[in-house]
């Protein structure tokens, strides 16, 4: 069931999303060769807790997995999403997706971005640029009266025209009162399909885009999703609300 939010509820979600955006911007400043993903995780957790909030991902579990141990998802190069922070030191030329979820005053926010570690190849930069652009193209379709499939189709069309592929096993989602709500928001699909977009919906749109094919696998840790062909992947995400028929980005950076 899709949860329609009141203005008061959207204001609460907006507050959590503001903290998400601030956390991402803070962590981004520490991304450089030699920094470990665990160090980034501590920076994020300390900042979130200092703002009277809780890292939404820490301890999150799903059937068959251990509780997620980090406050951030840190996914490097061929890792698509859900990378577990650890002692891995970042290297020049890599890219890293940082995904943050926050619970504050009973409301959730969620966003992600991919960041270059030092100087990166032209190919990786093109992948990052296309993925980020596709997020905004998808957001532009999130208007009242459209359907979820209009978002999905727009993202897929843009990405595939540039020779990249859309991950199919993972998708965006409703967010706000819970970390994951209906509807699911695939990054591929048909125009005019899926749930009707209405005022009061709060959703997270998050293209996950691979340099190679769209096949992915899950690591032995039960969480880290990586490209099956080991080619690089990028990931961007915003939480938005539909207000007065139009999308408003709540995790604006």
Question: In the chain, what is the straight-line distance between the N-terminal and C-terminal CA atoms, in Å?
Answer: 30
Residue 2 lies in a domain: no
Name the token pair of 66. 């251990």
Residue 210 lies in a domain: yes
Residue that the structure tokens 């207000």 belong to = 243
Is residue 158 within 8 Å of 205, Cβ to Cβ? Answer: no
d(CA 158, CA 166): 10
How much is the pLDDT for 62? 82
pLDDT tens track for 26-59? 999 999 999 999 999 999 999 999 999 999 999 9
Residue 195 lies in a domain: yes
How much is the pLDDT for 129? 99
Q: CATH number for the domain including 238?
A: 3.90.230.10
Q: How many structural domains is the chain composed of?
A: 1
How much is the pLDDT for 63? 83
Answer whether residue 241 shows pLDDT above 90. yes
Angle among Cα 156, 61, 206 to the nearest 5 degrees reads 20
d(CA 204, CA 237): 7
Query: Which residue range forms the structural domain that includes residue 82?
Result: 7-249
Residues 6+ apart with CB under 8 A from 61: 67, 68
Residue 147 lies in a domain: yes
Q: What is the mean pLDDT of residues 109-130?
A: 99
How much is the pLDDT for 253? 84
Residue 159 lies in a domain: yes
pLDDT tens track for 131-187? 999 999 999 999 999 999 999 999 999 999 999 999 999 999 999 999 999 999 999
């Amino acid at each position: 069931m899709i949860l329609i939010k009141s203005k008061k509820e959207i204001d609460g979600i907006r507050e959590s999303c503001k903290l998400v955006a601030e956390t991402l911007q803070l962590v981004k400043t520490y991304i450089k060769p030699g920094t470990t993903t665990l160090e980034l995780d501590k920076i994020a957790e300390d900042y979130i807790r200092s703002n009277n909030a809780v890292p939404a991902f820490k301890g999150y579990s799903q059937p068959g997995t251990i509780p997620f141990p980090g406050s951030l998802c840190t996914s490097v190069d061929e890792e698509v999403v859900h990378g577990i922070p650890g002692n891995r030191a970042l290297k020049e030329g890599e890219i890293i997706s940082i995904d943050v979820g926050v619970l504050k005053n009973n409301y959730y926010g969620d966003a992600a971005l991919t960041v270059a570690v030092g100087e990166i190849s032209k190919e990786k930069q093109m992948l990052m640029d296309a993925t980020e652009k596709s997020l905004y193209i998808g957001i532009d379709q999130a208007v009242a009266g459209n359907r979820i499939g209009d978002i999905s189709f727009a993202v897929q069309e843009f990405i595939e025209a540039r020779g990249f592929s859309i991950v199919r096993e993972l998708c965006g989602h409703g967010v706000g009162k819970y970390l994951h709500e209906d509807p699911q928001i695939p990054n591929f699909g048909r125009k005019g399909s899926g749930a009707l977009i209405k005022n009061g919906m709060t959703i997270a749109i998050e293209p996950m885009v691979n340099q190679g094919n769209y096949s992915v696998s899950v690591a032995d840790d039960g969480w880290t999703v990586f490209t099956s062909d080991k080619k690089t992947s990028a990931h961007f995400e915003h939480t938005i609300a539909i207000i007065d028929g139009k999308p408003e980005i709540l995790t604006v950076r």
